[in-house]
Amino acid sequence: MINFKGHRFEKDFILPCVRWYLAYPLSYRNLEEMMTERGVEVDHSSIYRWVQKFTPKLEAAFRKERKSPVNKSWRVDETYIKIKGQWRYLYRAVDRDGQTIDFLLTARRDKKAALRFFRKAVRQHGLPDKVTIDKSGANTAAIEALQEETGQAIEIRQSKYLNNLIEQDHRAIKRIIRPMLGFKSFRSAQITLQGIELMHRIKKGQMASDHNQNLSAAGQFYSLAA
């Protein structure tokens, strides 16, 4: 259970603001105006602090839930995220059915960063049988290093056409990020992206616990705080 004690506002005000920010293309000032229309005076900076404080806890709760299993055929790609005026890299993977496997924000786009991402994904889901990537040499080198570490063969497919699925999935994340007009720090970007990816997975139906299978996406999100 997530503890909301010590806050001037109750969780019934905090959680909707956090969810709306992570689920829809809104700014913090948009949310401040929306809450004011509902008779709740809350500063946009407070909503920012709520997102930064509670998102990691909600995402951790999601990772502990029993989730829909992903299959062993992965599509991996990275997209660009602007932080303090500089481009950083969001590594992402989906399976052949479009289910999110994992993600990782990194400062660089190289073998070391790609291997960190693969190790993180494998800890959560186990090793894939097949990985589809673009022509990135860094990703190829990382998969080869992973095979050496584990002793398991992984088929590598390099195909721009077959990777359309992950590129289309990037768009859902970018659509939410666009009104944010860039992140001010790596840490705030990391936390916010955790939450956006969390809502994206819930909307895909990847939260499959028995006690929440009949809940809406919003209801499933709120259940993580219970």
**How large is the average pLDDT for residues 184-206?**
95
**How large is the average pLDDT for residues 52-68?**
88
pLDDT score for 210: 59
Q: Is the pLDDT of residue 5 over 70?
A: yes
3-state DSSP assignment of residue 174: helix
Lowest average pLDDT, out of 55-59, 105-109, 162-166, 207-211, goes to: 207-211
Q: Is the pLDDT of residue 32 over 70?
A: yes
Structure-token pair, residue 147? 């095979």
Contacts within 8 Å (CB) and 24+ apart, 115-121? 115/142, 115/145, 115/146, 117/76, 117/91, 117/93, 117/142, 118/76, 118/142, 118/143, 118/146, 119/146, 121/74, 121/93
Domain boundaries, the chain: 11-66+207-223, 73-183
Q: Is the pLDDT of residue 186 over 80?
A: yes
**How large is the average pLDDT for residues 123-138?**
92
What pLDDT digit, counting tens, does each position of 162-175 carry?
A: 788 999 999 999 99
Mean pLDDT, rounded, of the chain: 92
Q: Is the pLDDT of residue 22 over 90?
A: yes
C-alpha to C-alpha distance for 174 and 86, rounded to whole angstroms: 16
Domain 73-183 has CATH 3.30.420.10: yes
Residues 6+ apart with CB under 8 A from 151: none
CB 194 within 8 A of CB 56: yes
Q: Is the pLDDT of residue 212 over 70?
A: no
pLDDT score for 176: 95
